[in-house]
Structure 1
Amino acid sequence: MELQQIVKDRSITTLYQPILSLKDGKVFGYEALTRGPETSPLYAPLPLFEEAERSGLLYSLDRLAREKAIQDSLAVTDKELLFLNLSARILHDPLFVPGRTLELLERRGLRPYNVVFEITERDSIGDFAAAQRILDHYRQQGYRIAVDDAGAGYSSLQAVAELQPDFIKADRSLVKDLHLHKKKEYIVETLLEFAQKLNIDMIAEGIEKTEELMKLTRMGVHFGQGFLLGRPGRERTVLTEDLRECILTHRRKHDTTGSTWSIGDLASPCGEFKPTVQISEVAGYFKQNIHAQGAAIVSDGVPIGLIMRERLFQQLAGQYGFSLFWNRSIDQLMDPRPLIVDELTPVEQVSQLATSRDIQNLYDLVLITRKGSFTGAASIRSILECITNARMESAKVASPLTGLPGNIQIHRELNKRLTEGRRFSVIYADLDFFKWYNDRYGFQKGDQLIQFTADCIQQAIGVLGKPHDFVGHIGGDDFIAITSCDDPEKLCGEVIRRFEQGVPLFYEQKDWSYVEDRSGNRIESTGVTISLSLIVCGQAGQVTADQISQAAAKLKKLSKQAKGSIFCSDYLETAYSNNSGS
């Protein structure tokens, strides 16, 4: 029998398909894919393993496939993983010996943490309790688990819930033309949210188009796999610069804008006609598609006009309308100046453009292009719904006391500045002796003092800052400002001036000569003061968030040693610390 001979001769080979990070474009791991002899009908994995199951050779083939995959593994660093397909049926094979894999790895110089076992069956595992026991044995040794075909059917979702894997792989059926189908997008979004809540990373399989890669990256999917990123082979993968830049660009949009969408995310299919098409044909289209609001008029792929359903039928319903227009070309009735925007334009900006149109065009579709070519349209309703949802999402993570952005948005904004590579400054602010004030005057007064502090920082930014400067509320009496202003020291001085000017109003009477620190030690002071830590990032591309955090901690310690409101500065571009007081 051919399969017996294949196993006996060990005449299978292993190809490796890369799995890449959709955060930085680096290789995260390789999936080992078994192939039979090239001239054999059993070359492809599906007929090969189906024949093994029929012949009772499934375990023998699986063991050989794993041995070959580990022996020739392309995963050569501690950070790269080797994904090994593991049939659900193998888990229940009486000859299955879990310890065998560890022996193979040791020969190759690999460790269990380099290996991910990928449960590949689309059908139900059957006995989840038994499978869980076996997989737990692997986990205890350091192996990780992935569930394949997530979203392809109920059984895969049940496998995720029951087996609690480290990775789920979104099925190719969901990834294919994801950018064209909102329903697929919603399913992937749901899967991603589900995975994140369970601390599971998602891998999108079958990425073959740049548009699919862009959409998945901007949605925040963790890893990707597919012919676009690398075909199965025996050589290590090097991603092209174009694709790497695509990943970096669109991941940056996800990390820095959070729920701020680009209009391309709202693009939906829209009828399109050449300008020479007869009006009768367009009218027929609207009669057959009763939900179509409008259609784009496109010449050589470029949108040049728009015809709205209501406007067309109003013209045809007028006196002599039918006889005048029915056989004329659609360019006679189209709007030759519709709102046309590039897919990367922020939704908020498109909303402003759309609502500034004449009243008769207020609810017209917005036409969307990619590099000048027509890709779809967005309705005013979808734009407003997106903005509303984004604001609701922002409100969820904002500080309930000050309404300022919270830690999620703070991290996104800081990452945005770091990746832009331009000079910016970070100001950390916190109140001295706030606990003393809170204990003495009560929580309500304490909350008012925190709100006052937030106002001081925002007002100073409004006077001396730039339009896109950012103020966030870390929590309690701690705040952060991220600014591109030319003179951040002057900005710090303005924050202190406003605080010092207004804080006396928060004391009912000054019948105290000292305050207490958090340890209860008495300290002579005029009351609550504000300390600012200013970190100037002159070469943002060479500065990390950890460096900023460490500098802030050092400056905070310095500022606490001085009396009164003060700011301390550190210039990371020159590693020179210039401490200034006010």
Structure 2
Amino acid sequence: MVKEHSPESITRQLSSLLDNGELDTLFQPVVNLLSQETQGYNVLVTGVPGSPFSNPELLYNTAEQTQQLALFTETMLQTILSRAYTLHIDELLFIEIPALAVAQHFVSASTLRLAVEALGMPASRFVIQVKDDRPLINASTLREQLIAFKSLDFKTAVANIGAGFKSAEFWLECQPDFCKLPRHLVDDIHNDPLKQELLFEITDKSNKRTRFIAPGNGALPQIETLFRAGIHLYQGSEFGSYRSIPAKGRLPSINSTSTYTEPERLTCQSLAYYVKPLQPETKLKEVAERFATGDSASCLPVVGNNKPLGIAHKWRILELFSTQYGRALFENKPIVDFISSDTIIVDEHTPLLDLSRMLTGAEDHYVRQNFLISREHYYLGMGRTRDLLKLITDTKIDAAKYANPLSGLPGNVPINKQIQLLCKKSTPCWIAYFDLDNFKPFNDVFGYSKGDDAIIMLATILSEQLSDLGFVGHVGGDDFIATFSENISPEPICRYIIEQFIQRSRPLYPDTIREQGYFEARDRYGNWRCHPLVNLSIGIIHVRNPDQIGHHQIAELAAAAKKSAKESQRHLVIVSTDDNTSVVPYTLARKRIQHPEPEKCQD
């Protein structure tokens, strides 16, 4: 154990450590929750076990304080490149290099490129990451260095934007490939419209050239809010800890419109961003000054007693002041007298499709570009029409991409996401598996067109009865899945669904078949058999603790319940999952579902 703590002894210890290359590398995964894969690894160096420099920050700070930053940077890069070559890492490697070291040319883009090529690795695999943690005297040199790295195919990243480097100006000029968001910005962002607006401004300025990485250790609603804002990359302990040998990151399921969300379920809350409002008595000259400072591009909300009153438009103020005596006449007037009388104000729970109809259905044929959003009649924030249209468009594109082409219902990807979400949130629920009986022989005898009609008919009934209660998905063929709250009694609804299908499907048959109640078809062995008319079987499971089971096993249990319903010929079987995830009897349908009984097939 090192017992000396004088500056001289610390300098000697660090010099010895660097001269002997006694550094360890640690890798933490950077995960992509959109593609559900590990995007790369953040790499840090520390002293070997037993050294006083086991903390990366302490190691860096000591190197700077003892005038050994150049040697530290060189040794660090040699250690990381050697380790990356040995471990055959194919993912991106985010290398944290002190900004001061980059600015003072302690690391050269061309020299690093030669070192990387000598090991047979592409420069594009490495992300040169500088930490924006202090004001720099020579920011222009740092900017030139980062641009030089990009010109040689390295990727670049800036961490903690806004802490130094003259904030956004530096970032915009460097145009890094990645930007790590500061923790204070993302913490509790799902409950803070002001932070959401700031994030929107940052991401909007990036012009899509920069990909943002959010720190982890946040609640699921926080991550979901970031995800909806287009932040798909994350780094934090819940996704994977620092390890000497890189390990794939943990990938939680995110309930997001980027995976699949039905457009009808989206509400205005997802569009709200906070803008500091004007008071009704604010004078026009003060409003003009605020517009002049760039506080808002085109409009500001007017709020009295925390309740939204309307929107003040910049063009309106400029129009009033542009006349010969306009400023003298109006500058001391209150803004409340000049707000738009046609301002659209909606509650946060208003469906986006309803808002879209309000904006496009006005008789004056003028599409308003902004609107106000309230929470229980109090001001919550503003919304942009462009954001509304983009969200609806993106959601519909995703819905079409993941939808079953025949029924239009969500397919396997959103079904899996939905069940994963239930597991993640440990939400007790009912899961129902629907399957048509005698469908294959029906399809063989009456043709695929009639078969498609039967499937579409079932999809329509399920949507009518269950869409407002939960989630409905189309597994494929004649199989469907639905999830809904455990507070809903499943048996009456599912009985009604069976009865509706029996009633609506009978016109699919010729009169003679419908009257006799069966049809004949060859089985897989080529033998003629009689089959009852197509009907419906439903297996339902009550999942008390989905987090203890997992989405794969839940799907298996639902399929087993459906199989039990078909084999028992009761057409409706309800089971429960106990703490050991086995299937146990819960409630059998109290009576068999009545179907027309077929007469005996004639030989």
2:213 to 204, 209, 213: 204
Cα distance per residue 1:134-181 (max 9 Å; x no partner): 68xxxxxxxxx9642599879599679xxxxxxxx9622688864423
Is the counterpart of residue 187 in structure 1 residue 187 in structure 2? Answer: no
What's the counterpart of residue 475 of structure 1? 476
What's the counterpart of residue 172 of structure 1? 179
How far is 1:299 from its partner? 8.8
Is the counterpart of residue 278 in structure 1 residue 283 in structure 2? Answer: yes
How far is 1:276 from its partner? 5.7
For the 8 Å contact 2:125–2:154, the answer to whether it is kept is no
Task: Tell me, in whole angstroms, the C-alpha distance in 2 between the residues paired with 1:449 and 1:178.
Answer: 48
Is the counterpart of residue 427 in structure 1 residue 432 in structure 2? Answer: yes
For the 8 Å contact 1:308–1:364, the answer to whether it is kept is no
Percent identity over paired residues:
24
Of 443-452 and 207-216, deviating more is 207-216
What's the counterpart of residue 538 of structure 2? 532
For the 8 Å contact 1:255–1:416, the answer to whether it is kept is no
Is the counterpart of residue 502 in structure 1 residue 504 in structure 2? Answer: yes
2:127 to 144, 148, 164: 148
Letter in structure 1 aligned against 2:576: Y
What's the counterpart of residue 550 of structure 1? 556
For the 8 Å contact 2:41–2:92, the answer to whether it is kept is no
Of 444-453 and 482-491, deviating more is 482-491
Letter in structure 2 aligned against 1:204: I
For the 8 Å contact 2:300–2:313, the answer to whether it is kept is yes
For the 8 Å contact 1:256–1:415, the answer to whether it is kept is no
Which structure 2 residue ranges, 5 or more long, are not aligned?
A: 1-10, 47-55, 98-107, 131-145, 156-175, 186-197, 245-250, 594-603
Mapping of 1:543-582 within 5 angstroms? 544-563=550-569, 566-573=571-578, 575-577=583-585, 578-580=587-589, 581-582=592-593
Cα distance per residue 1:156-214 (max 9 Å; x no partner): 99679xxxxxxxx96226888644234357627x96xxxxxxxxxxx826789999967
How far is 1:481 from its partner? 2.2
Of 377-386 and 315-324, deviating more is 315-324
Could you say if the C-alpha distance between residues 441 and 186 of structure 1 is closer, same or farther in structure 2, counting changes exceeding 3 Å? farther
Mapping of 1:382-397 within 5 angstroms? 382-397=387-402
For the 8 Å contact 2:128–2:154, the answer to whether it is kept is no
Task: Tell me, in whole angstroms, the C-alpha distance in 1 between the residues paired with 2:548 and 2:125.
Answer: 36
What's the counterpart of residue 81 of structure 2? 86
For the 8 Å contact 2:429–2:543, the answer to whether it is kept is yes
Letter in structure 2 aligned against 1:409: P
Letter in structure 2 aligned against 1:187: K
For the 8 Å contact 2:539–2:564, the answer to whether it is kept is no
What's the counterpart of residue 195 of structure 1? none
TM-score of the superposition, structure 1-length normalised?
0.62
SS of 2:532's equivalent in the other structure is coil
How far is 1:478 from its partner? 1.2
Task: Tell me, in whole angstroms, the C-alpha distance in 2 between the residues paired with 1:514 and 1:529.
Answer: 16
Cα distance per residue 1:372-413 (max 9 Å; x no partner): 998963233432343233223322322222222222332333
Could you say if the C-alpha distance between residues 458 and 378 of structure 1 is closer, same or farther in structure 2, counting changes exceeding 3 Å? closer
SS of 1:86's equivalent in the other structure is helix
Letter in structure 1 aligned against 2:535: T
Could you say if the C-alpha distance between residues 300 and 405 of structure 1 is closer, same or farther in structure 2, counting changes exceeding 3 Å? same
For the 8 Å contact 1:429–1:533, the answer to whether it is kept is yes
Could you say if the C-alpha distance between residues 446 and 262 of structure 1 is closer, same or farther in structure 2, counting changes exceeding 3 Å? closer
For the 8 Å contact 1:279–1:327, the answer to whether it is kept is yes
Task: Tell me, in whole angstroms, the C-alpha distance in 2 between the residues paired with 1:344 and 1:134.
Answer: 52
Letter in structure 2 aligned against 1:41: E
Task: Tell me, in whole angstroms, the C-alpha distance in 2 between the residues paired with 1:351 and 1:523.
Answer: 55
Could you say if the C-alpha distance between residues 290 and 127 of structure 1 is closer, same or farther in structure 2, counting changes exceeding 3 Å? same
For the 8 Å contact 1:278–1:328, the answer to whether it is kept is yes
Task: Tell me, in whole angstroms, the C-alpha distance in 2 between the residues paired with 1:231 and 1:550.
Answer: 32
How far is 1:222 from its partner? 4.7
Mapping of 1:242-321 within 5 angstroms? 251-253=254-256, 258=261, 263=268, 266=271, 273=278, 277-283=282-288, 292-297=297-302, 306-309=311-314, 311-312=316-317
Letter in structure 2 aligned against 1:572: T
Task: Tell me, in whole angstroms, the C-alpha distance in 2 between the residues paired with 1:438 and 1:411.
Answer: 28
Could you say if the C-alpha distance between residues 215 and 373 of structure 1 is closer, same or farther in structure 2, counting changes exceeding 3 Å? farther
Task: Tell me, in whole angstroms, the C-alpha distance in 2 between the residues paired with 1:29 and 1:562.
Answer: 53
Letter in structure 2 aligned against 1:544: G
Could you say if the C-alpha distance between residues 3 and 341 of structure 1 is closer, same or farther in structure 2, counting changes exceeding 3 Å? farther
Task: Tell me, in whole angstroms, the C-alpha distance in 2 between the residues paired with 1:279 and 1:522.
Answer: 87
Mapping of 1:359-378 within 5 angstroms? 363=368, 365-367=370-372, 377-378=382-383
TM-score of the superposition, structure 2-length normalised?
0.60
SS of 1:405's equivalent in the other structure is coil
SS of 1:561's equivalent in the other structure is helix
Could you say if the C-alpha distance between residues 271 and 46 of structure 1 is closer, same or farther in structure 2, counting changes exceeding 3 Å? farther
Letter in structure 2 aligned against 1:148: V
What's the counterpart of residue 159 of structure 2? none
For the 8 Å contact 1:342–1:371, the answer to whether it is kept is yes
Could you say if the C-alpha distance between residues 576 and 131 of structure 1 is closer, same or farther in structure 2, counting changes exceeding 3 Å? farther
What's the counterpart of residue 598 of structure 2? none
Task: Tell me, in whole angstroms, the C-alpha distance in 2 between the residues paired with 1:355 and 1:118.
Answer: 48
Letter in structure 1 aligned against 2:562: K
For the 8 Å contact 1:399–1:475, the answer to whether it is kept is yes
For the 8 Å contact 1:431–1:529, the answer to whether it is kept is yes
Could you say if the C-alpha distance between residues 33 and 358 of structure 1 is closer, same or farther in structure 2, counting changes exceeding 3 Å? farther
Task: Tell me, in whole angstroms, the C-alpha distance in 1 between the residues paired with 2:480 and 2:232.
Answer: 31
For the 8 Å contact 1:86–1:118, the answer to whether it is kept is no
Task: Tell me, in whole angstroms, the C-alpha distance in 2 between the residues paired with 1:47 and 1:533.
Answer: 68
Task: Tell me, in whole angstroms, the C-alpha distance in 2 between the residues paired with 1:13 and 1:374.
Answer: 55
User: How many residues are matched?
Assistant: 483
Cα distance per residue 1:331-363 (max 9 Å; x no partner): 453469966779898745765787899989982
For the 8 Å contact 2:540–2:562, the answer to whether it is kept is no
Task: Tell me, in whole angstroms, the C-alpha distance in 1 between the residues paired with 2:154 and 2:572.
Answer: 55
Is the counterpart of residue 486 in structure 1 residue 491 in structure 2? Answer: no
Could you say if the C-alpha distance between residues 230 and 373 of structure 1 is closer, same or farther in structure 2, counting changes exceeding 3 Å? farther
1:32 to 38, 44, 64: 44
Letter in structure 2 aligned against 1:431: L
Task: Tell me, in whole angstroms, the C-alpha distance in 1 between the residues paired with 2:72 and 2:29.
Answer: 23
For the 8 Å contact 1:170–1:204, the answer to whether it is kept is no
Letter in structure 1 aligned against 2:179: R
Task: Tell me, in whole angstroms, the C-alpha distance in 2 between the residues paired with 1:443 and 1:207.
Answer: 50
For the 8 Å contact 2:181–2:215, the answer to whether it is kept is no
Task: Tell me, in whole angstroms, the C-alpha distance in 2 between the residues paired with 1:43 and 1:345.
Answer: 60
What's the counterpart of residue 118 of structure 1? 93
Q: Cα RMSD (Å) of the superposition?
A: 5.8
For the 8 Å contact 2:32–2:234, the answer to whether it is kept is yes
SS of 1:409's equivalent in the other structure is helix
Could you say if the C-alpha distance between residues 308 and 568 of structure 1 is closer, same or farther in structure 2, counting changes exceeding 3 Å? same
Task: Tell me, in whole angstroms, the C-alpha distance in 2 between the residues paired with 1:342 and 1:179.
Answer: 21
How far is 1:29 from its partner? 8.2
Which structure 1 residue ranges, 5 or more long, are not aligned?
A: 53-57, 66-84, 92-97, 102-111, 136-144, 161-168, 192-202, 235-246
How far is 1:307 from its partner? 0.9
